[in-house]
Amino acid sequence: MQPRTYEIRTYGCQMNVHDSERLAGLLETAGYLRADGAEPDVVVFNTCAVRENADNRLYGNLGQLRPVKAGHPGMQIAVGGCLAQKDRDTIVRKAPWVDVVFGTHNIGSLPVLLERARVAEEAQVEIRESLEVFPSTLPTRRESPYAAWVSVSVGCNNTCTFCIVPALRGKEQDRRPGEILAEVEALVAEGVLEITLLGQNVNAYGVDFGDPQAFAKLLRACGSVPGLERVRFTSPHPRDFTDEVISAMAETPNVMPSLHMPLQSGSSAVLKAMRRSYRQERYLGIISRVRELIPDAAITTDIIVGFPGETEEDFQETLHVVREARFASAFTFQYSKRPGTPAATMEGQVPKEVVQERYERLVALQEEISWAENKRQLGRTLEVLVAEGEGRKDGATHRLSGRAPDNRLIHFARPAEEVRPGDMVTVEVTYAAPHHLVADGVVRAVRRTRAGDAWEARSSAPKGVSLGMPSIGAPPPVAASGCAAGPSPAAL
């Protein structure tokens, strides 16, 4: 009997991306194989509920799969993630061809639910109200053998009026530092050289066990892990961003000079209405201190345009902060109502055409700043981590791509010496565009790494063999007490 195959379709934030790695690990541990071009036996939707009309898009995608399933006996469809947590039985009522619905707190149940649905020949819906096992104890199929997400916490204790995620992910629960460092060390032993510490308010880490300096300590501890070359984190909250965290970033050599810190609005009045517990002065103060201690830091952000009650004067305050902060890039969003959030019923909903016009002005300003900031990189010599699957904007086949220490995307001339994803190359920047850099000169150095070895081993493995799929976690579940973590790579 041939093993059943699976495909996972992920939408939303980095937390969802990492959850999908766990779902893949669970399925492969249960004997499933990743679908390789052919129609999969199981399709899993890992959904996001942050953007408006997420549900309509989900049902559109499910509708497209209905005839495919009818022509593929035994095919199963599962829906998980934030939208599943929110809509529960509604999904099966609207799309009765769905076999499994599971929530954010019980991703570990997926293989059992699939088998139960197959045997019973009826849909299985299981939504838990609280986390029973910390997700990092579950098997994980990492997408990359050289870079990895490491969760430090799940859930969120904030009550931002535009955000539905805390209601779907629950209160913040923190892992113990020893468990996190054990996972980091295990990953490095397998060839990983870059890790990203992940939490929905990552720098609030420690609140659950009463240590306000826990995140700064964790950054410093990562600096002592042999073989770990790059440490990043996402997403911090300005409220919890302390001078000690900035010092830890500046003084720990493997913590990279990059920072993604959501702004949301530059208007203190709007921030108050958003229930964001900082104001413009506080935010710009953090930026100033980061620039003082880490002059080469690339700072990125999230901004919402058109929040209820936003006036032209409020919007001008946002533009002011953008000019002052000089973000390397920004994820910009037009405000969208989310049912169940306080902002959805606030007075002063801004007309769509006004929101669109302000959004276009913001994007134009940020594009101008991004390009100017990238031009400042011309002539710099940078060590680039060679990446797999980074798009080359100009389609040049003689170039490879990777990330600089500050996380800027660099397309560089293919060297004569073979390089693999996970290897390091040293290049000089020769051209700047708003969203990427180019290094078309001779590659100055190539450093082959154990991460490159790990990529080569995975890519040459026979079909059906999953290398780099550690069952991270045998630590016991964490009994401990976050909004989407970081910018969204996709949205349903």
In angstroms, the CA 108 to CA 26 distance is: 7
Among 256-270, 327-341, 386-400, the least confident range: 386-400
pLDDT tens per residue, range 414-428: 998 999 999 999 999
Confidence of residue 373 (pLDDT cuts 50, 70, 90): very high
Q: Provide the pLDDT for residue 492.
A: 36
Q: Provide the pLDDT for residue 130.
A: 75
Q: Provide the pLDDT for residue 264.
A: 97
Confidence of residue 14 (pLDDT cuts 50, 70, 90): confident
Does CATH number 3.40.630.30 belong to domain 135-375?
no
Q: Where in the chain is the domain with CATH 3.80.30.20?
A: 135-375
Confidence of residue 475 (pLDDT cuts 50, 70, 90): very low
Sign of CA pseudo-dihedral 250, 153, 241, 306: positive
Q: Provide the pLDDT for residue 395.
A: 58
Confidence of residue 278 (pLDDT cuts 50, 70, 90): very high
pLDDT tens per residue, range 431-454: 999 999 999 999 999 999 999 999
Q: Provide the pLDDT for residue 469.
A: 38
Report the pLDDT averaged over residues 325-345. Answer: 92
Q: Where in the chain is the domain with CATH 3.40.50.12160?
A: 5-126
pLDDT higher than threshold 50 for residue 473: no
Q: Which residue has the higher pLDDT, 336 or 332?
A: 332
- CATH T-level assignment (fold) for domain 381-450: OB fold (Dihydrolipoamide Acetyltransferase, E2P) (2.40.50)
CB contact at 8 A, 471 and 410: no
Q: Where in the chain is the domain with CATH 2.40.50?
A: 381-450
pLDDT higher than threshold 60 for residue 2: yes
In angstroms, the CA 47 to CA 53 distance is: 12
CB atoms under 10 Å from CB of 156, counted, come to 25
pLDDT tens per residue, range 70-79: 999 999 999 9
In angstroms, the CA 31 to CA 476 distance is: 24
In angstroms, the CA 188 to CA 227 distance is: 6
**Which residues lie across from 386 on neighbouring strands?**
402
Q: Which CATH architecture has domain 5-126?
A: 3-Layer(aba) Sandwich (3.40)
pLDDT higher than threshold 60 for residue 84: yes
pLDDT higher than threshold 50 for residue 251: yes
Q: Provide the pLDDT for residue 476.
A: 27
Burial status of residue 11 (CB atoms within 10 A of its CB: 0-12, 13-18, 19 or more): buried
For residue 475, the Cα-to-chain-centroid distance in whole angstroms is 24
Q: Provide the pLDDT for residue 488.
A: 40
Confidence of residue 5 (pLDDT cuts 50, 70, 90): very high
In angstroms, the CA 91 to CA 86 distance is: 10
3-state secondary structure the chain: CCCCEEEEEECECHHHHHHHHHHHHHHHHCCCEECCCCCCCEEEEEECCCCCCHHHHHHHHHHHHHHHHHCCCCCEEEEEEHHHHHHCHHHHHHCCCCCEEECCCCHHHHHHHHHHHHHHCCCEEECCCCCCCCHHHCCCCCCCCCEEEEECEECCCCCCCCCCHHHHHCCCEECCHHHHHHHHHHHHHCCCCEEEEECCCHHHCCHHHCCCCHHHHHHHHHCCCCCCCEEEEECCCHHHCCHHHHHHHHHCCCECCEEECCCECCCHHHHHHHCCCCCHHHHHHHHHHHHHHCCCCEEEEEEEECCCCCCHHHHHHHHHHHHHHCCCEEEEEECCCCCCCHHHHCCCCCCHHHHHHHHHHHHHHHHHHHHHHHHCCCCCEEEEEECCCCCCCCCCCCEEEEECCCCCEEEEECCCCCCCCCCEEEEECCEECCCCEEECCCCCEEECCHHHHHHHHHHCCCCCCCCCCCCCCCCCCCCCCCCCCCCCCECC
Confidence of residue 470 (pLDDT cuts 50, 70, 90): very low
pLDDT tens per residue, range 151-204: 999 888 889 999 887 777 788 889 999 999 999 999 999 999 999 999 989 999
